[in-house]
Amino acid sequence: MKKILVNLGDRSYDVLIGKGIISRLPKLLKGIVGTPKVLLITSQSINRLYGKQIAKLLKGSRFEVTVCLLPEGETAKAERQLFRIYSTALKAGLDRFSGMVALGGGAVGDVAGFAASTYLRGVAFINIPTTLLAQVDSAIGGKTAINLKEAKNLVGTFYQPRLVLSDIDLITSLPKREYLSSIGEIIKYGVIASPSLFRYLENNASGLLKRKPAVLEKVIAESSLIKAKVVEMDERELTGFRAILNYGHTFGHAYEKVAGYGALRHGEAVAVGMCEAARLAEKKMLLKPLDRIRIENLVEKLQLPTTTGKRSLSPRLLREAMMKDKKKKGKEVRYILPIRIGKVIPVAIDPYSLF
Ligand SMILES: NC(=O)c1ccc[n+]([C@@H]2O[C@H](COP(=O)([O-])OP(=O)(O)OC[C@H]3O[C@@H](n4cnc5c(N)ncnc54)[C@H](O)[C@@H]3O)[C@@H](O)[C@H]2O)c1
Ligand SMILES: [Zn+2]
């Protein structure tokens, strides 16, 4: 097992990564909550796969567990679901010293974190991520959110969990495409902050594709550490430092939007976005051709796309999508570009000069 401390003063917490570590949950939870009442927030399919066993494990340690089932995926991040969590918690008698436990992907984690941050002005939140994306990214850092019909993630809070438990046994059931697309974010961590993680990925691509536990434990721990360090530097996205996590995302979000949500998975769009940002950096003489080639090769080796392929995405729509990006500064958009493996910088560019 690996343990990473997210060091945020009195909001510090551990991220635990390992195989089979879910068995430690009852003991860990006892150190966090002050009452036996816990609300387990998950979805139907994840409840069937893991939730029932986890509830049993907790009940065996005299916890009183109430389960709140949310719809699968993004539909969980809705106002109606948030209010269902509140009323389930209320009915179950959760008080200020009780805990809410999220068991699921980023969607369940985002809405459960929001609920925990606002129910009775905040109760202890424990996150058990079940997707690779949630383990390396969304479970760490304290961003919570729901979607409004106008836009995604429009309403939310910054609220750190008290514990993140990333058990690699829980991601064995992930469908292949879901699993692969999350690897995009792991490559991102290598490019933005860690030449050694990047090299490890180059050398262990096949182990990662085969979901070898030792490889998974290493890459999830390294990724979690980088995310933790970035969050420690800029917890509330105020200094601009957290923006390095957007590498590949300005292009990626535009591809996702223009291709139509669902056509390209988030991680796939980010993979193309990282390659495009590397090509742009090379064009601007910021990145050596060899490093651009290494990025493209690694993306390809991990079975992710390096271009949008045969999809003909309208340049006008892509430009418009990028101009709407939150990171816009006047007419220019701030792109995070690599200058070598392990280092990125923000560069303001007019998207009209790109297409
Ligand atoms: N808070 C943050 O900092 C942050 C960061 C990145 C992304 N996000 C959010 O995370 C969400 C995406 O998260 P995601 O990629 O984990 O997707 P997700 O939560 O939508 O889950 C994807 C699908 O996988 C299923 N699933 C989950 N775990 C499974 C398992 N172990 N086995 C089989 N199926 C499983 C889910 O039921 C769902 O259908 C988005 O809403 C995004 O906005 C948040
Ligand atoms: Zn992302």
Distance CA 159, CA 10 (A): 12
In testing the pocket of ligand 1, which one of 108, 117, 138 has its CB within 8 Å of the most ligand atoms?
138
Structure tokens at 38: 């816990």
pLDDT tens digit at each of 355 positions of the chain: 999 999 999 999 999 999 999 999 999 999 999 999 999 999 999 999 999 999 999 999 999 999 999 999 999 999 999 999 999 999 999 999 999 999 999 999 999 999 999 999 999 999 999 999 999 999 999 999 999 999 899 999 999 999 999 999 999 999 999 999 999 999 999 999 999 999 999 999 999 999 999 999 999 999 999 999 999 999 999 998 999 999 999 999 999 999 987 789 999 999 999 999 999 999 999 999 999 999 999 999 999 999 998 778 999 999 988 888 665 667 789 999 999 999 999 999 998 888 7
Which residue type is seen at 33?
V
Cα separations (Å) of 59 from 37, 52, 62, 87, 222?
A: 10, 10, 5, 22, 33
Query: What are the structure tokens assigned to 95, written together?
Result: 């008080």
Q: What angle do CA 341, 344, 345 make, to 5 degrees?
A: 155
Q: Whose Cα sits closest to atom 2 in ligand 1?
A: 138
Q: Would you give the DSSP letter of residue 94?
A: -
State whether residue 299 is helix, strand or coil: helix
Whether the Cβ atoms of residue 68 and residue 84 lie closer than 8 Å to each other? yes
In the annotation, is 232 catalytic? no
Q: How far is the CA of 315 from the centre of ligand 2 (A)?
A: 22
Please report the atom of ligand 1 found closest to the CA of residue 171. 31
Other C-beta atoms within 10 Å of 301: how many?
15
Predicted TM-score (pTM) of the model is: 0.96
Q: Locate tokens 């792109």: which residue?
A: 335
Query: Does the annotation mark 246 as catalytic?
Result: yes
In this structure, how many other beta carbons lie within 10 angstroms of the beta carbon of residue 336? 24
Pocket of ligand 1, beta carbon within 6 A: 43, 45-46, 49, 72-74, 77, 104-108, 110, 130-131, 133-134, 137-138, 141, 143, 153, 170-171, 173-174, 178
